[in-house]
Amino acid sequence: MILPNATRVIDLEYATPVTAVVPRNFLHAIHGVPALPTDAMLAELGFIVVAIDARGTPFRSRQFSQFGYGQLNIMGLDDHVAVIKQLGERYSYVDTARVGIVGDSYGGWSAFWGMLDYPAFFKVGVAQVPPGGMHNVYICEEWYAYQGPPVYSNGSHLRPNPNEVPQNWKSIDMRQKAANLKGNLLVIMGELDENVPPGSTNQFLYALLKADKDFDLIYLPGAAHATQFPAYTTRRTNDYLVRHLMRAEPPAR
């Protein structure tokens, strides 16, 4: 049975080249995509939730899994958009006019890119503990292996000045597209995030400010990457999606 309000679609993201999110067993189906709220929680609210292993994800052919090499700014989002559009063509109850995108950590990175590269498609985004750029986080085998080790203007792998972006990583510096933001964007970040330094997120938020773009921000004092306030952030995420994507008023507490 399809609920009357189960028309708005949420793309629940955790897009890295080494992670697959489509459930492959019962426990995986219960837990869902690495995110809070989970796909089951969002479905309970009346949304259609999709999890997609696009080109550039593992457990397929070598050609499929390495499709994203050198273009990690895409992160399979072109496939995500195509899949959701096809669902709308096949099922009349799937509303593709207002689609949301939600993710934690790498999923937050994808949520940023979705809102910037497909602003006419993704109307509402929630990015939890998201990197704002990969040149200003920890050394990660995923980025080094798929985008290549950073190469700076002096030819070395070491940053010659604090503000320089690697020559081969400029395509994944999302600050250059900050002016593309059109929809409702909620950013949730922790003060003591040890995995995604807050400075990384703040650099992108600074770019949004310079572009005179509106966004919503929840700053969690004392919170690490695995947030210490899951009930709070889940409620705030749910309310944001109900209010801006479903265009309904969340129930009073």
Do 166 and 173 touch, CB atoms closer than 8 A? no
Tell me the average pLDDT across 38-55.
91
Instruction: Tell me how far apart the alpha carbons of residues 168 and 148 are, in angstroms, rounded to a whole number.
Output: 7
- End-to-end alpha carbon distance in the chain: 29
Domain presence at residue 3 = no
The whole-number average pLDDT for the span 32-43 is 83
Give the count of domains, the chain. Answer: 1
In a domain, 250, yes or no: no
Beta strands 8-13 and 184-190 are: unpaired
Q: Which domain holds residue 179?
A: 8-244
Rounded Cα distance between 71 and 122, Å, is 20
User: Does residue 2 lie within any of the structural domains?
Assistant: no
User: Is 253 part of any domain?
Assistant: no
Listed in sequence order, the residues at least 6 apart from 105 whose beta carbon sits closer than 8 Å to its beta carbon are 14, 34, 128, 129, 130, 131, 195, 196, 225
145-169 pLDDT, tens digit each:
888 888 999 988 888 888 888 888 8
SS3 assignment, position 247: coil
Distance separating alpha carbons of residues 189 and 199, to the nearest angstrom: 10
Q: Read off the pLDDT of each residue in 56-82 and give the average, rounded to a whole number.
A: 87
| Cα(84)–Cα(8) distance, integer angstroms | 11
Predicted pLDDT of residue 3: 44
The answer to whether residue 1 is domain-embedded is no
Are 47 and 246 in contact, with CB atoms under 8 Å apart?
yes
CATH number at residue 156: 3.40.50.1820
Query: 3-class DSSP state for residue 10?
Result: strand
Inside any domain, residue 26: yes
